[in-house]
Amino acid sequence: MRMLKPAPVQTVRRTEVPRTALRLASPVAETAAAAPQLQPTAAASAAAPVQHAQNWMKLVGEAMARYAATGASTAALLPLMRADTGSELLDLQFAVVERMHQMQQDWWQGWAAWLEELGQSRKADTLSEHMEQQYNLGEQFAALLKSQAADLLDLYDNVQVNYGYWATRKLARQVD
């Protein structure tokens, strides 16, 4: 058995470093120094959720007001219901059903494409690649849901506006 010789010990010369007091950074002091710069941003960030909530409440309030006005128009139209009024109302309903059918076709195509991509996702070689694939699929999933919700709300708004316009026009003709 062969023995290894230890490496010779070298002496390292030590140079004198002037001794000065080390100043350790204080997170509190750094934050306080940066606070004037951060205050406008922090104030805007703190106000953002309140602004979002206020905007949401405003939009919901407007939708409820339209819904109430539509209900009032419908109640006023009931005594005036004739064959032409019923026919026009059925035409409006048919247009809504047609649009829903078209949206459903688009949704099926979107979900079929997502499922195809899910089935084609290859085995990842690294953890980061796997995470990227999973997040990509998740983002596509969320985009499909967002698109469907936006489509439905857009249709809802259009139905409310178009029905309100039709009912107002119909009531104005009945008054004349």
Model pTM score: 0.64
pLDDT given at position 4: 47
Kindly state whether residue 3 falls inside one of the protein's structural domains. Answer: no
- Per-residue pLDDT of 60-87, as tens digits, reads 998 888 888 888 888 888 887 888 888 9
Domain range enclosing 110:
53-115+147-175
Is 131 contained in some domain? Answer: no
Does position 111 have pLDDT exceeding 90, yes or no?
A: yes
**CA–CA gap between residue 62 and residue 66 (Å, rounded):** 6
Alpha-carbon span 56 to 64, nearest angstrom: 12
Q: Does 10 reside within a domain?
A: no
Question: Hey, what long-range contacts does 137-144 have (CB within 8 A, 24 or more apart)?
Answer: 140/114, 141/114, 144/107, 144/110, 144/111, 144/114
- In a domain? residue 32: no
Q: Is residue 84 part of a domain?
A: yes
Q: In whole angstroms, give the CA distance from residue 60 to residue 153.
A: 12
List pLDDT tens digits, range 12-53: 455 554 555 545 455 555 555 655 565 667 667 778 888 989
Is residue 39 situated within a structural domain?
Answer: no
Residue 136 lies in a domain: no
How many domains does the structure of the chain reveal?
A: 1
